[in-house]
Chains A and B, each alone.
Chain A
């Protein structure tokens, strides 16, 4: 009788710290997620369609579009992107999430404005902090971007330059 009780108890004792460690890490890391993405990109169209079948149409389309872009990248560019992705995964989860949210908001903008904003983010990311602060309140900046665009640029450059 005691063996019937002790076996699940031991299993529970040993499994608990593992599950706890996994939770503290916040799920699979960058490399794991990248591996998952590689496996997904190698799936047949039918398998992929089945995998995405439970998602709303818009999200499904967005995933397919992003995957298409990713798959068409030259090998060298893909490799660089993977390195950048793993670096991005080193940021705290809340900053990663903030960056994603800004990018989702940017999707509502016309393509040329999105491009302009991205370039501005890069330029501002190279600026020293005092200069960046001064530029954000300058007329040049205010006149060139709408309040919503300015907020996006400020947030994104802040996230990526920290």
Chain B
């Protein structure tokens, strides 16, 4: 049974290290981390320092670990610009006001499922084509002649001319029919 164990009551006098904590397994390796993080009880810390004098592996580990902590302690975050909060809020509002299809598209393209992504434009084309197929009357064929856009349907002046001519022809014939009936 090892002499150093984290399960030891720290208030009692700690036993000297007889087995290196690096070799003791996961539980006692925590002693090294606690020491480096200055969380180890002073008595235990003293015992560990005595052990490190004889154990270069623990000494090297502690040194490297302490270097990391010291580096992190000396790290200074970059200063934040004065209007950072204001800009952040504006950006969040902008994203929330973005068009629903943009948000939906972002969600689709941001997801990890790349397998079905190529199917999205195909599906969109199929839906569009199905819509057009179901209401072919909605498509106006480009007329050969003079056209005028009026609302959704373009007016073909030549078709109108023919329709008016036909109407006039039929009106004259109807008038002649009425006249001959009277005779």
Contact = CB atoms under 8 A, between A and B. Distances in A.
Interface of A: 2-3, 6-7, 10-11, 14-15, 18-19, 21-23, 27-28, 33-34, 36-37, 39-40, 43, 47, 50-52, 54-55, 59, 62-63, 66-67, 69-70, 73, 80-81, 84-85, 88-89, 96, 99-100, 103, 114-115, 118-119, 121-123, 160
B167 interface: yes
B159 A66 contact: no
Contacts of A51: 146, 148, 155, 157
A33 B165 contact: no
A11 B125 contact: yes
A36 B159 contact: yes
Given A18-B136, A59-B161, A67-B164, A40 B141 contact: no
B166 A39 contact: no
Q: Of residues B124, B129, B173, B180, which shows the largest number of chain A Cβ atoms within 10 Å of its Cβ?
A: B173
B19 interface: no
B156 interface: yes
Contacts of B121: 3, 7
A19 B165 contact: no
Contacts, number: 132
A42 B169 CA distance: 22
Given A55-B161, A100-B169, 11 more contacts: A2-B118, A11-B125, A11-B129, A34-B163, A36-B153, A63-B161, A66-B164, A85-B166, A114-B172, A119-B179, A122-B173
Interface string B29-61: 000000000000000000000000000000000
Contacts of A73: 171
What range describes how many residues of B lie at the interface?
Answer: 35 or more
A84 B170 contact: yes
Tell me whether chain B's interface is mostly helix, strand or loop, or mixed.
helix
Contact of A43 (B122, B150, B169, B175): B150
Nearest to A89: B166
B177 interface: yes
A100 B162 contact: yes
A114 B124 CA distance: 60
Given A81-B171, A103-B165, A27 B176 contact: no
A19 B180 CA distance: 45
Nearest to B143: A27
Q: Of residues B136, B151, B162, B166, which shows the largest number of chain A Cβ atoms within 10 Å of its Cβ?
A: B166
A39 B167 contact: no
Nearest to B178: A122
Contacts of B170: 81, 84-85, 88
A67 B178 CA distance: 22
